[in-house]
Amino acid sequence: MSPPRPEPQPELLPGLVRAEVRRSRARTAAARAQRAAAAEPAAVDPVARVLVDVPLAHLDSPFDYAVPATMADTARPGARVKVRFAGQDVDGFVVARAAASDHSGRLTPLRRVVSAEPVLAPQVAALAGELAARYAGTRSDVLRLAVPARHAATEKQPSPPAPDLPAYDEAAAVAAWTDHEPAAAYLRHLADGGSPRAVWAAAPATDWPLLVAHAAAATRASGRGVLVCVPDGKDVARVGAALTAVLGPDQHVALTADAGPARRYRDFLAVSRGARRVVVGTRAAAFAPVADLGLVVCWDDGDDLHAEPRAPYPHTRETLLLRAEREGAGALVGGFVRTVEGDYLLRTGWAQELGATREARRRVTVAVVGEPDARSRGGRVPHEVHAAVKQALPSGPVLVQTPRLGYVTALACARCRTPARCLACRGPLALGSPTDPPSCRWCGTAAPSWACPECGHRGLRAPVLGDARTAEELGRAFPGTTVRTSSGDRVLATLSSASEIVVATPGAEPVAAEGYAAVVLLDTWLLLSRVDLRAQEEALRRWANAAALVRPGGRVVAVGDPGEPALQALVRWDPAGFAAREAAERGEAHLPPASRLATITGEPGAVDDALTLLVPPDGAEVLGPVDLADGECRAVVRVPRARGAALSAALGELQRVRSARKLDAVRVQVDPQTL
DNA sequence: GCTAACTGAGCA
DNA sequence: GCTCAGTTAGCG
């Protein structure tokens, strides 16, 4: 060791050198502290295995640190720590303590235990590893989604005491599930400590939050915990209310993104400390460290809110099913429709079917009426719909679903308001989705480079808002009836049973206390016209979710083409048959879930490099790359489902090599929701 | 990513 | 022989 240098006089030195001296002093002080700490290692298990929070793929594995005696008790598995890594202080989690390390060099001591609170449960650490492998991402990315930010003041507070196990009313649970088969056996299996896995297509007019709550109660009866994930905060509130009704107060926590940091951490701690054993929440809740997990529930798994938009882009359903598998829990994948992924779970025998009885499916009648002539300047609401609304109103509220704002109406020149017309047939131009070019509502011809014939301007606008205009039209047709709207950022959560009309966009439909007397689906062509892999499936999902809000015996009227397969599936209330057909078509087209598909997106040069580095598994197909907007491009790689794990592994290796060689980043998405 | 060690150019 | 900018390996 070198003798201490004589320290230069700072005031005699120029600023830069002085700064250097300060740094050097700080270094020697840090080194002294480290030496002192290293001198006294913990007596038991002096090695801490730490996952460091660095975003680099090739550094995604635990690193060993020495545990100073002073941290012997606090540096426990799951604790948040600060460590010196590559010359800087970084955050990390202790994942294990060990007696020895297989690292050959001297171990750097832990810098600091941020908190002894074990926030990273062992099963969540393992899950992060599996998800990182599955989605070709890093554990640190997954952990950022899984563990909420620390809130020191909240951490000091004790969590509420764990409540007593509530009594389980099996008769009530079976009664609530009476419309579904074989629900009684499924519930019994859960209550007996079994882990049945089911894909559930709910009957129309089913109060599904109540059924989920009873499944939770059955699981709780076996002493185990429950985790329920739903698409949005509105559904969290509904399931929360049902859980309170069935299990009693203080049995569950609701985890949502819009709770503040303090509340979020408080609720997380209540789960992590075992004070709450039942969790309902949105997609981030899929990582909640529920103790002794007995059941995971994913409601409406087709909703794209379940797809995490941050790397590595895990899907709630996949996260929950991985957990069910590794933690030995039962699973319930439910919705008013069945996704092709749900169909796949059934076909492979991974899950059993939980379906609506024939009588329950017939409880609601769905009719399809043709669209009014688009050329008529009259309204979009046909006579049959007027009649149905008129008939239903005296007995309760009526829901009118109309596709999203602005995409509905014919377009006009943004400058001079001249209506935009199709060059081929003079029909009105409209937008099918926010991303597609406008196209003709009569003949379908796309008009990507429209220019106003009057003034030459190229901008288009929607002159009237869709739901506002519909509400206006209905208000005129039914004078004296209250017409309310629910859409976008002005969503009505619930509704009384008063006789009023609610015009809502898909996903924003309020739930009526006693169910709707009638549900009307307008402009069904619009949802079907999206150029998306899942357009049909997604359209049926949105219609079914609205139609399911009708009361038993109520009427559903859809305006559209009766020949459309998705509308026919709605009329027959046959989500299983529809999913099976969709799955078959996807299989023929080598699309998920029969294939596993991944995208590589980034700068053209970066994507080229990535494709050169990628060692695809046997049978892999590489498509593209094709140019996208913003100078990016995207390649697609797909393999038969059986090679899915190999594809994920190859993509993970690609990211590690790319990261180690400091090549430009590319975004890898495994099983993206859309293409 | 970042730091620290390494390398070679430029100059005394 | 030394400094310094530019490069690069390795991170416990």
A338-383 pLDDT, tens digit per residue, is 999 999 999 999 999 999 999 999 999 999 998 765 434 456 678 8
Residue A472 has pLDDT above 90, yes or no: no
- Residue A58's nearest nucleotide, by CA–C1', is C11
Residue A432 has pLDDT above 70, yes or no: no
A87 touches strand C (CB under 7 A): yes
How would you write A3-62 as a 3-class SS string? CCCCCCCHHHCCHHHHHHHHHHHHHHHHHHHHHHHHHCECCCCCEEEEEECCCCHHHCCC
What is the distance between the alpha carbons of residues A501 and A518, in angstroms, rounded to a whole number? Answer: 10
Task: Give the lowest-confidence range in A66-70, A377-381, A393-397, A439-443.
Answer: A377-381
Contact partners, residue A96, CB within 8 Å, separation at least 6:
A48, A49, A62, A77
Q: What share of chain A has pLDDT > 70, as a percent?
A: 88
Closest alpha carbon to C1' of B2, residue: A86
Which pLDDT value is given to residue A452? 83
Query: What integer pLDDT is reported at residue A471 of this predicted model?
Result: 82
Give, in Å, how far the C1' of B1 lies from the CA of A227.
36
Instruction: Give A298's pLDDT tier (boundaries 50, 70, 90).
Output: very high
Contacts of A573 (CB under 8 A, 6+ apart): A203, A204, A356, A361, A362, A364, A366, A544
More confident residue, A325 or A479: A325
In this predicted structure, what is the pLDDT of residue A462? 60
A62 CB inside 7 Å of strand C: yes
d(CA A637, CA A607): 12
Q: Is A480 helix (H, G, I), strand (E, B) or coil?
A: coil
Task: Give mean pLDDT, residues A124-130.
Answer: 97
Say if residue A58's pLDDT is above 90: yes
> Which of A416-430, A436-450, A455-469, A530-544 is most confident?
A530-544
Mean pLDDT, residues A44-60: 95
Residue type (1 letter), A387: A
Predicted pLDDT of residue A410: 63
Q: Give the pair of three-digit tokens for residue A515.
A: 């169910």
Quote the strand ranges of A560-619, DSSP E: 595-602
Mark residue A671 as left, alpha or beta (left: phi above 0; alpha: psi -120 to 50; beta: remaining). left
CA atom of A88 to C1′ atom of B4, Å: 12
C-alpha triplet A561, A565, A568: angle, nearest 5°: 75
Say how far A662 CA is from B6 C1', in Å: 19
Q: Rounded to whole angstroms, how far apart are CA atoms A272 and A257? A: 18
Who has greater pLDDT, A418 or A432? A418
Encode pLDDT of A155-183 as tens digits.
Answer: 999 999 999 999 999 999 999 999 999 99
pLDDT bin (cut points 50, 70, 90) of residue A25 is: very low
Q: What is the mean pLDDT of residues A411-430?
A: 73
Largest CA distance in chain A: 97
Report pLDDT for A352.
98
Q: With both helix axes pointing from N to C terminus, report the angle between A340-347 and A575-588 in degrees, rounded to the nearest 10.
A: 90
Instruction: Give residue A523's pLDDT.
Output: 81
**Predicted local distance difference test score (pLDDT) of residue A23:** 41
Instruction: Give the least confident one: A3-12, A51-60, A67-76.
Output: A3-12
Give mean pLDDT, residues A547-561.
93
Mean of per-residue pLDDT scores for chain A? 88
Of the listed ranges A217-231, A284-298, A422-436, A522-536, the least confidently predicted one is A422-436
- Closest C1' nucleotide to A47's CA: C12
The pLDDT assigned to A328 comes to 98
The amino acid at residue A353 is E
Nucleotide nearest to A659 (CA to C1'): B1
Q: What is the pLDDT of residue A293?
A: 98
Q: Taking all atoms of strand B, which protein residues have CB closer than 7 Å?
A: A 27, 54-56, 59, 85-88, 662, 665
Residue A93 CA distance to nucleotide C10 C1' (Å): 21
Structure tokens at A388: 């149905």
User: What pLDDT is stored for residue A544 in this prediction?
Assistant: 97
Distance CA A37, CA A161 (A): 38
Q: How confident is the model at residue A531 (pLDDT cuts 50, 70, 90)?
A: low
**Structure confidence at residue A15 as a pLDDT band (50, 70, 90):** very low
What is the Cα–Cα distance from A480 to A568, expressed in whole angstroms? 35
> Residues 89-128 of A near strand C (Cβ < 7 Å)?
101-103, 105, 107-108
CB A602 within 8 A of CB A596: no
Which backbone phi and psi does A541 adopt, to 5 degrees? -60, -45
Band the pLDDT of A408: cuts 50, 70, 90: very low
State, as a whole number of angstroms, the distance between the CA of A19 and the C1' of B2: 19
| DSSP-assigned beta bridge partners for residue A69 | none
Question: For A621 and B9, how far is CA from C1' in angstroms?
Answer: 49
Cβ distance A501 to A478 under 8 Å?
A: yes
Asked if the bond preceding A592 is cis, omega within 30° of 0, the reply is no
Question: How far is it, in rounded angstroms, from Cα A369 to Cα A392?
Answer: 17
Q: Which nucleotides of B are covered by protein (CB under 7 A)?
A: 1-4
CA quadruple A247, A252, A255, A259: dihedral positive or negative?
Answer: positive
With CA of A662 and C1' of each nucleotide, the nearest comes out as B1
pLDDT value of position A481: 86
Residues β-bridged to residue A68: A41
Task: Return the bridge partners of A413, or none.
Answer: A460
How far in angstroms lies nucleotide C12's C1' from the CA of residue A404? 54
Q: Which nucleotides of C are covered by protein (CB under 7 A)?
A: 10-12
- Residues 6 or more apart in contact with residue A551 via CB below 8 angstroms: A205, A396, A512, A514, A515, A516, A517
> Using alpha carbons only, what angle is made at residue A265 by residues A261 and A268, rounded to the nearest 5 degrees?
140
User: Is the pLDDT assigned to residue A641 strictly greater than 70?
Assistant: yes
How far from chain centre, in Å, is Cα A69?
43
Contact flag, residue A481 CB and nucleic strand C, below 7 A: no
DSSP per-residue letters across A172-226 = HHHHHTTTEETHHHHHHHHHTT---EEEEEPPTT--HHHHHHHHHHHHHHTT-EE
Residue A524 CA, distance from chain mean position:
25
Residues A592, A640: Cα–Cα separation, whole Å: 9
Closest-CA residue to A606 (of A649, A658, A675, A671)? A658
The residue length of chain A stands at 675
Count of CA atoms in the C-beta half-sphere (13 A) of A612: 8
A56 touches strand C (CB under 7 A): yes
Nucleotide closest to A109 measured between CA and C1': C12
Predicted TM-score of the model (pTM) = 0.87
Q: What is the CA radius of gyration of chain A?
A: 29
Instruction: Report DSSP letters for A269-319, one per residue.
Output: HHHHTTS--EEEESGGGGG---TTEEEEEEESTTSGGGB-SSTT--BHHHH
Secondary structure of residue A476 in the 3-state scheme: helix
Nearest nucleotide (CA of A59 to C1'): C11
Residues contacting A431, CB < 8 A, separation 6+ = A406, A407, A411, A438, A462
pLDDT tens digits for A513-529? 899 999 999 888 777 76
pLDDT at A266 over 80: yes
Where residue A219 falls among pLDDT bands split at 50, 70, 90? Answer: very high
- How confident is the model at residue A324, as a pLDDT? 98
Which nucleotide is the nearest neighbour of A56, by CA and C1'? B1
Distance CA A118, CA A514 (A): 45
Question: Between A372 and A91, where is the model more confident?
Answer: A91
Q: How far is the CA of A81 from the C1' of B3 (A)?
A: 21
Q: Protein A661 CA to nucleic acid B7 C1', in Å?
A: 20
Rounded Cα distance between A367 and A360, Å, is 17
Strand C within 7 A of A268 CB: no
Q: How far is the CA of A655 from the C1' of C8 (A)?
A: 20
pLDDT at residue A200 greater than cutoff 50:
yes
Per-residue confidence (pLDDT) for residue A466, from 0 to 100: 62
Residue A30's pLDDT band (cuts 50, 70, 90): very low
pLDDT over 70 at A24, yes or no: no
Q: Does the pLDDT value for residue A218 go beyond 90?
A: yes
Centre a 10 Å sphere on the Cβ of residue A84 and count the other Cβ atoms it contains. 16
Confidence of residue A85 (pLDDT cuts 50, 70, 90): very high
CA A213 → C1' B8, Å? 72
Among A191-195, A250-254, A444-448, A490-494, the least confident range? A490-494
Instruction: Please report, rounded to a whole number, the percentage of residues in chain A having pLDDT higher than 90.
Output: 68
pLDDT of residue A464: 43
* Secondary structure letter of residue A366 according to DSSP: E
- Residue A16 pLDDT more than 60? no
Taking the CA of residue A19 and the C1' sugar atom of nucleotide B6, their distance in angstroms comes to 24
Confidence check: pLDDT of A39 > 80: no
Q: Is-contact A420 A462, C-beta < 8 A?
A: no
Confidence of residue A581 (pLDDT cuts 50, 70, 90): very high
